[in-house]
Amino acid sequence: MGEIAAIILAAGKGTRMKSDLVKVMHPLEGRPMVSWTVEAARGAGVSKIVLVVGHHAERVREHFAASPEIACAVQEEQLGTGHAVACALPALAGFTGRVLILCGDVPLVSSATLQAMLAQHKESRAAVTVLTTHMADPHGYGRIVKDAAGHVRRIVEEKDATEAERLVTEINSGIYCVESDFLAAAIPNIGNDNAQKEFYLTDIIGQAVELGLSCGSFPVADPDEVMGINDRVQLAKASSIVRRRVNEELMLDGVTLVDPSNTYIEQGVRIGRDTIVHPNVHIRGATVIGEGCVIDPSVLIQGCRIGDRAQIKAGSVLCDSVIRNDVAIGPMAHLRPGSELCDHVKIGNFVETKKAVIGEGSKASHLTYLGDATIGRNVNVGCGTITCNYDGVHKHQTVIEDDVFVGSDVQLVAPVTIGRNSLIAAGTTVTKDVPPDSLAIARTPQVNKEGWKLRKAKG
């Protein structure tokens, strides 16, 4: 298609968000709003992106620091969308081709729509093509004014519109495709003689018409795609639109969502067939879940890789961990980053793991903390076992070899190694390594004082 550049307008403060954070950095389903627009542009084949930033410019710049194809142009004062594009043009000096202009607060536009608009633009040899939609309530948007033949004549802002123009329901999405040479010529001619005393980008349409150039419109069927986000009510609406799309795709791919309107799965999460997800489950980041799993209510999973047939029971929290096949977790278990559970592991209620590798078939069924630990196969970790991994300065490792039985209420003071096939008696505080095939017991012998209660009662 030839080279395509994009300008993304994101300098506005977003006053109606009533926030200390600039609007375009507010998270939409886990990612800043503006990064949705950036992804849409990338997906449409854009090779260079100029972000126009103003308020909190540094935060936006930092977020995209690792992307060399994204340049930031600073617009010190927000004098209007036309002025914003003027600020971006120096960063595109020497570029010829088509320029997509997008808004950082219109995040739901799809790459497919942008590609279709670009194709029509090229086909029709227009100087400008504007992405539009029909809205039942066009209030607040610029209206598309067309001539009798259906050619776009100009775009008029609501505040500048006549009564008749306000009745138009085809609105300007704020997204355009423009030929770079025409854009460079038109931008300096924009004035600010309008109700808001702003430099309106939309004026370039009128200029093209005067020059006898063709202006097209590309209407998108689903108005949701071009909804602008100005306040937190619209932000919540956009979130629910994204969630609905993600959930429907998963269900059509064979995942059961018991109550999709109360299931919160971020875009990019992958889930296998015949997995069942109960209500109020949150699945985030680059999580991958296998087939035939059951995720109980009120579970939070972030950045995990989970195999097939996992049972994740109610109230569990799993972060940045690897879980292999046929594992049972919870209820109320907490897997912190770096946990790795091999096949057939069981982690029960009120068990916390962190940087812990737990071998095949091993179990920690109740009330346990396993941190900085390497645990072999077929190990039984009794109720109330604690790895004492931190001495206040350093973290230390605990190693438990295969087939060890750890009784209840055991403290393992790290660094320490328990040799294979040993038994640690209940109530033991282990401070020395235990050789294989041994019994380790460390507790004060019990004393029974018979009749003591009766003597005490007599005084």
CA atoms within 13 A on the CB side of 304: 28
Question: Could you say whether residue 171 binds ligand UD1 (CB under 6 A)?
Answer: yes
**Neighbour-count burial for 73-96, b at 16+ CB within 10 Å, e otherwise:** bebeebbbbbbbbbbbbebbeebe
What burial class does residue 364 get, using C-beta atoms within 10 Å of its C-beta: 0-12 exposed, 13-18 middle, 19+ buried? Answer: buried
Q: Are 414 and 389 in contact (CB under 8 A)?
A: yes
Closest distance to ligand UD1 from the beta carbon of 41 (Å): 14
Quick one: which of 32, 174, 371, 382 contacts ligand UD1 (CB under 6 A)?
174
| 83 annotated active-site | no
Closest distance to ligand UD1 from the beta carbon of 245 (Å): 21
Supply φ then ψ for residue 284, to 5 degrees.
Answer: -130, 170
Mark residues 131-170: x for contact with ligand UD1 by CB under 6 A, - for none: ----------xx------------x-x-------------
Question: Could you say whether residue 104 binds ligand UD1 (CB under 6 A)?
Answer: yes
Name the segment binding ligand UD1 (CB under 6 A); options: 117-125, 185-193, 194-202, 408-416: 194-202
Residue 75 or 387 with smaller CB distance to ligand UD1: 75
The helix or strand, by DSSP H or E, that contains position 354, with its residue range, turns out to be strand 346-358
Distant-in-sequence, close-in-space partners of 154: CB < 8 Å, separation ≥ 6: 145, 202, 205, 206, 209
Strand duo 346-358 + 328-329: pairing = parallel
DSSP-derived secondary structure for 230-271: -SHHHHHHHHHHHHHHHHHHHHHTT-EES-GGGEEE-TT-EE
Residue 165 or 231 with smaller CB distance to Ca ion: 231
Quick one: which of 97, 228, 331, 337 contacts ligand UD1 (CB under 6 A)?
228
Quick one: which of 30, 97, 223, 228 contacts Ca ion (CB under 5 A)?
228
Quick one: which of 79, 241, 288, 413 contacts ligand UD1 (CB under 6 A)?
79
Question: Could you say whether residue 202 binds ligand UD1 (CB under 6 A)?
Answer: yes
Q: Are 229 and 105 in contact (CB under 8 A)?
A: yes
Residue 104 or 272 with smaller CB distance to ligand UD1: 104
CA atoms within 13 A on the CB side of 357: 9
Question: Could you say whether residue 231 binds Ca ion (CB under 5 A)?
Answer: no
Closest distance to ligand UD1 from the beta carbon of 214 (Å): 20
Residue 41 or 255 with smaller CB distance to ligand UD1: 41
Name the segment binding ligand UD1 (CB under 6 A); options: 71-79, 161-169, 236-244, 397-405: 71-79
Q: Are 45 and 115 in contact (CB under 8 A)?
A: yes
Please tell me whether residue 34 adopts helix, strand or coil conformation: helix
Q: Look-up: residue for tokens 């046929």?
A: 326
Strand duo 4-10 + 317-319: pairing = unpaired
Q: Select which of 56, 134, 151, 366 is catalytic.
A: 366
Closest distance to ligand UD1 from the beta carbon of 26 (Å): 12
For the chain, give the longest Cα–Cα distance: 113
Closest distance to ligand UD1 from the beta carbon of 299 (Å): 36
Footprint on this chain of ligand UD1 (rule: CB under 6 A): 9-12, 52, 75, 78-81, 83-84, 103-106, 141-142, 155, 157, 171-174, 200-202, 228
Footprint on this chain of Ca ion (rule: CB under 5 A): 228
For the annotated catalytic residues, the residue numbers are 366
